[in-house]
Amino acid sequence: MDMNVPKKKLSLKEKYSHMTRGLDWEPSYQSKDDVYPYAKYEGIKIHDWDKWEDPFRLTMDAYWKYQAEKERKLYAIIDAYAQNNGHLSVTDARYINTVKLFLTGVSPLEYMAHRGFAHVGRQLPGAGPRVACLMQSIDEIRHAQTQVHSLSNYNKYYNGLHDFRHMHDRVWYLSVPKSFFDDAITAGPFEFMVAIGFSFEYVLTNLLFVPFVSGAAYNGDMSAMTFGFSAQSDEARHMTLGLEVIKFMLEQDPDNLPIVQRWIDKWAWRGTRVLTLVAMMMDYMLPKRIMSWKEAWEVYFEENGGALFKDLARYGITMPKCIEDITKEKEHLSHQAWATFYNYGAAAAFHTWTPDEDEMNWLSEKYPDSFDKYYRPRLEYWRDEAAKGNRFYNKTLPMLCQVCQIPMLFTEPDDPTKICYRETQYKDDKYHFCSDHCKAIFEHEPEKYIQSWLPVHQIYQGNCFPEGTDPTAEGFDPLAAVLAYYHMNFGRDNLDFEGSEDQKNFDAWRGVATSND
Amino acid sequence: MQMDLRTVSIKPLRNTFDHVARRLGADKPASRYQEGTFDMQAAANFHYRPTWDPEHEIFDATRTAIKMADWYAFKDPRQFYYGTYTLARAKQQDTAEANFNFVETRGLAAMLNDEVKATSLKLLVPLRHVAWGGNLNNASMCAYGYGTAFTQPCIYHAMDHLGIAQYLTRVGLLLGSEEELDAAKDAWMTGDAWQGLRRYVEDSFVLKDPIELFVAQNVALDGLLYPLVYETIVDDVLSSEGGTAIALLTQFMTEWFGETRRWVDATLKTAAGESAENKALLEKWTTHWRDRAASALMPVAQIAVGGRADTVVAEQVEQFNTRLAKAGMTV
């Protein structure tokens, strides 16, 4: 009987290959170019998709099993945290402003990653990377939802989170992360993989995710910490996918090198510009600090990222040119960013404040070459003015960079006393940039970046008022109209932390929870 | 006995996010499905047009000819968000694993008569390619559809199809070996019985309208294929010939179809109920793709039921029409 013939035992690799690329076939009733219409226009040459090495091997049954186990644990903790009023155990209510920044700025990007990977997972002609991308797509909707579900409890008690989706598409500083992802998803599928799969997941995850989750852990936020830890094993898969894609492109054809190099240069810069918000969070917004932004950059980029670029050197990839300037900026980035938000505190959906004396001393210690010289005097002046009842709010609108969309707040790489301005002429218009790098990105693809929905321009053009607003009416208040368009509640979501509803509620509630009065 | 444990109670400022409250009509406690679904997709002020599709915005409702006043009118009756979805599938995969284990350890595959075994291999293993096509198509619907209420179940459905393709691969390896996978691939590529179906699947790959694709894949093709293969052929025909083991190995698919058709039907009902124009368009698409699917499935049914294929497929079409009538469509 044939049953006596022992079956050949398949290796894990062979088995996984049958479970993924073995399912695929070369179409003949439709042309391959019609089935995968976006695979060629970026100029990337792939000769043999079978050379793709799966960065991880996970069949769907195992995926469901592992992920369900993680979800069960995560939601048990979220529920317990909510039930025990866990929000009252954070260091102090200022911490909650980092949560606001995260939910309005980052969670919507997780959702974009979900849709972006569905798109790329549909379009790459190789079965191996397609499966890996679709798995990342479903992971990313997980991250978006677990973040919304964890932070939902904060929204019940604190201001600024209540309309995060609406704000993400409109508010001036949120156009920075939004335009970053819009840029990636509107690029071709290969560039998307470098932008998100490589630069964002691989090079920069350590500088966004790790500080945020560590910040949560340091400051007693069990719910944000838990979704962070729970996402860790997913992130590990995403990082290996990102790296595998870049190696694969470089191995397939030498002509791919200059294209990939340009994308790495561009996305390293785009990514670090978004990290401006993280720098400010680490140095100013966490009541209990983990490390300074400068230290984080040194550990996670200069050391870890440096090792990565050494690994890629054998393919001919070199360290992005912008790194030199980023290294100079590390002394200044967080201070310049926080000063800007302090200025525009009336138009932000989180609270700002001046650091107390201990915190200023910590900053002096961490930034011996820059803080006392350039930034402390200004903060002390603002603090003293606020104490006299003159809390300063800037009411004019800043000029934005056409590419990264950050207000022109950065200084010249070699002169921290001079704002860095660059400009270029394209067709009939002049465009402005924060740096040589943003300018170079624009000049390579001007038709893309002239489309930027720049919040300040849009306000001046009258596109950011609620429907039916008449800007010519007597007593028209433009700031109030813009905040109404943002769904920002004046006096509750914005302004200084000192005297805010969040501050008062937190103190009162913590009193109820910890005393018998 | 009721225990009344006390916790410190603080009155919240609000019950849910404003965008959720606007959809609920008031600020009241919302479910995790609602908070994880409503308005999750960006809908305004996109920065750039896709370089791969400059005619459209990143997310653009005009990629389909179906028109909805509100794309969040769609509801998944299963209320799946990622957590509930994976929990549901983890449970089903537990059962599937137990079934595969049962068949393997009891040597049930060896006890199948040669004819049932040969039929099962010939019928089921090429279907793994069809499921792979379903994975690709549902990824499309997720990527190019509009609004999370519609697109979210599509990514779950895409991964389900991949899971099914992998279960079918295991069936092939359990009943046969790698050679059976190769033979099935050959049949899929060149065998007469499969060319109609392969053409159907490849034609669906180039559809640009995500809702027409939904109709071609999830409504018409799966709506005929799953009841035909897993309910009629596996559960009735093969089981009566001693092939109960096959029914155990495909239990996942049978249950999956029963569960997911609730979402498919609800989606059709909502879209068709929106306007006479939507209804007419959906009926036109459904009729077109149903007829193509029915004729493509005819030679596939013949593998198992021979000359009765005509009758068996006709019965499926009739049941399909009845099902669609319940969703408010005349096809």
Q: How far apart are CA A182 and CA A189, in angstroms?
A: 13
Nearest CA among A203, A64, A195, A232 for reference residue A138: A64
Phi, psi of A120 (to 5 degrees): -70, -35
Q: What one-letter code names the amino acid at A17? A: S
The answer to whether B47 and B120 have CB atoms below 8 angstroms apart is: no
- Residue A339 and residue A393: Cα distance in Å, rounded? 11
Q: Is the dihedral of CA B261, B263, B268, B273 positive or negative?
A: positive
Q: Nearest CA to CA, how far is B115 from chain A (Å)? A: 15
Tell me the C-alpha distance between A140 and A154, whole Å.
Answer: 22
Chain B: give the shortest CA distance to residue A90, in Å: 16
Q: Using alpha carbons only, give the angle A101, A107, A113 rounded to the nearest 5 degrees.
A: 140
Closest chain A CA to residue B196: A29
- The span from the CA of A187 to the CA of A179, in Å, is 12
**Contact at CB, A152 and B17, closer than 8 angstroms:** yes
Q: What is d(CA A89, CA A85) in angstroms, rounded to the nearest whole number?
A: 8
Q: What is the pLDDT of residue A305?
A: 80
Contact criterion met (CB < 8 Å) for B142 and A118: yes
Sign of the dihedral defined by the CA atoms of residues A257, A259, A260, A266, in that order: positive
Model pTM score: 0.97
B330/chain A closest Cα distance in angstroms: 31
Per-residue confidence (pLDDT) for residue A513, from 0 to 100: 75
- CA of B322 vs chain A CAs: smallest distance (Å): 32
Dihedral in degrees, nearest 10, Cα atoms A86, A92, A95, A97: 100
Residue A517 pLDDT: 63
Whether A178 has its CB under 8 Å from any CB of chain B: the answer is yes
What is the chain A residue with the closest CA to B56? Answer: A186
Report which DSSP code applies to B228.
I
The verdict on a CB contact (< 8 Å) between A22 and B82 is: no
| Per-residue model confidence as pLDDT tens digits over B185-216 | 999 999 999 999 999 999 999 999 999 999 99
Average pLDDT over residues B220-231: 98
pLDDT of the residue at A289 = 95
Report residue A84 as tokens.
């025990």
Angle between helices A222-252 and A127-157 (to 10 degrees): 160
Q: B59: which chain A residues are within 8 Å (Cβ-Cβ)? A: 115
Tell which of A21, A36, A145 to mutate to test the B interface (max B CBs under 10 Å): A145
**By C-alpha distance, which of B95, B90, B86 is closest to B247?**
B95
Q: CA A39 → CA A175, A259, B245, distances in Å? A: 29, 15, 43
Minimum Cα–Cα distance from A116: chain B residue? B143
Judged by DSSP in three states, B185 sits in: helix
Residues within 8 A of B (CB atoms), A 114-133 only: 114-115, 118-119, 121-123, 130-131
Of the candidates A99, A114, A105, the one whose C-alpha atom is nearest the C-alpha of residue A152 is A99
| Residue-level pLDDT at A234 | 92
Report the alpha-carbon angle B311-B316-B321, nearest 5. Answer: 125
Cβ proximity of A343 and A393 under 8 Å: yes
Both tokens of A295, joined, read 């230290």
Å from B58 to nearest chain A CA? 7
- Would you give the DSSP letter of residue B41? S
pLDDT for position B46: 98
A135 in contact with chain B, both atoms CB, cutoff 8 A: yes
Please report, as a single letter, which amino acid is at residue A149: H
What is the mean pLDDT of the segment spanning B16-38? 98
Which two tokens mark B49? 């047009």
What pLDDT score was predicted for residue A2?
46
Structural contact between residues A168 and A175, judged by C-beta atoms closer than 8 angstroms: no
State the distance between the two ends of chain A, measured CA to CA, in whole angstroms. Answer: 84
Cβ contact A112–B42 (<8 Å): yes
Q: In the predicted model, is pLDDT for residue B52 greater than 80?
A: yes
- Identify the CA nearest to A233 among candidates A105, A71, A104: A71
Which of B48, B89, B96 is facing A186, going by the closest CB pair? B48
Among residues A61, A50, A41, A47, the alpha carbon closest in space to that of A17 is found at: A50
Nearest CA in chain A to B20: A163
Low-confidence ranges of chain A (pLDDT < 50): 1-4
- For chain B, the residue count is 331
| Distance linking the first and last C-alpha atoms of chain B | 57
Using a CB–CB cutoff of 8 Å, tell me whether A321 touches chain B. Answer: no
Distance from the B331 Cα atom to the nearest Cα atom in chain A, whole angstroms: 27
Tell me which residue of A34, B79, A482, A498 sits closest to A490, measured CA to CA.
A482
CA-CA distances (angstroms) from residue A79 to A72, A213, A384, A429, B69? 11, 19, 43, 54, 36
Q: Using CA coordinates, name the residue in chain B closest to A463.
A: B45
**Cα B107-B111-B112 angle, rounded to 5 deg:** 120
Q: Is A4 on the interface with B (CB under 8 A)?
A: no
Ramachandran angles phi, psi of A481, nearest 5°: -65, -40
B255-308 per-position pLDDT tens digit: 999 999 999 999 999 999 999 999 999 999 999 999 999 999 999 999 999 999
CB contact under 8 A, A157 and B159: no
For residue A153, the one-letter residue type is N
**Residue B1 pLDDT > 80:** no
Considering CB atoms only, which of A35, A157, A164 is closest to B13?
A: A157
Question: Cβ–Cβ of B48/A452 closer than 8 Å?
Answer: yes
Q: Which residue of B has its CA nearest to A114?
A: B143
Domains and CATH numbers, chain A: 49-353+394-494+496-514 (1.10.620.20)
**How far is Cα B250 from Cα B244, in angstroms, rounded to an integer?**
10
- Find the CB nearest A18 among B42, B169, B189: B169
Tokens at B251, concatenated: 């239990």
When CB atoms are compared, the residue of A14, A23, A487 closest to B18 is: A487
Nearest to B81 among A8, A24, A145 (CB): A145
Residue-level pLDDT at B272: 97
Cα torsion A156, A158, A159, A160: sign: negative
State the ipTM, two decimals: 0.97
Which 413-472 residues of chain A touch chain B by CB within 8 A? 448-449, 451-453, 458
> pLDDT (tens digit, 9 = 90+) per residue, A97-135?
999 999 999 999 999 999 999 999 999 999 999 999 999
Chain length of chain A: 517
Beta carbons of B44 and A29 less than 8 Å apart: no
% of chain B exceeding 70 in pLDDT:
98
H/E stretch holding A213 reads helix A205-218
- Please state which CATH class domain B78-326 belongs to: mainly alpha
| Whole-angstrom distance, CA of residue A299 vs CA of residue A277 | 18
Q: Give the distance from residue A113's alpha carbon to the nearest chain B alpha carbon, in angstroms.
A: 11
- Grouping H, G, I as helix, E, B as strand and the rest as coil, residue A405 is coil
B206 vs B195: CA distance, rounded Å: 17
Q: Who among A27, A30, A157 is closest to B12 (CB)?
A: A157
Q: Which residue, chain included where needed, has tokens 């068949």?
A: B103
Q: Would you give the DSSP letter of residue A53? A: P
The rounded mean pLDDT for chain B is 96
Q: Residue A419 pairs with which residues in a beta bridge?
A: A411
Q: What is the DSSP string of A84-136?
A: TTGGGGSS-GGGHHHHHHHHHHTHHHHHHHHHHHHHHHHH-S-HHHHHHHHHH
Contact A161 B17 (CB under 8 A): yes
A157 and B10 within 8 Å at the Cβ level: the answer is yes
Contact present, A452 and A403 (Cβ < 8 Å): yes
Phi and psi, residue A11, nearest 5°: -75, 165
- Would you call A509 an interface residue with chain B, using a CB distance cutoff of 8 Å? yes
Rounded Cα–Cα distance for residues B290 and B320 (Å): 9
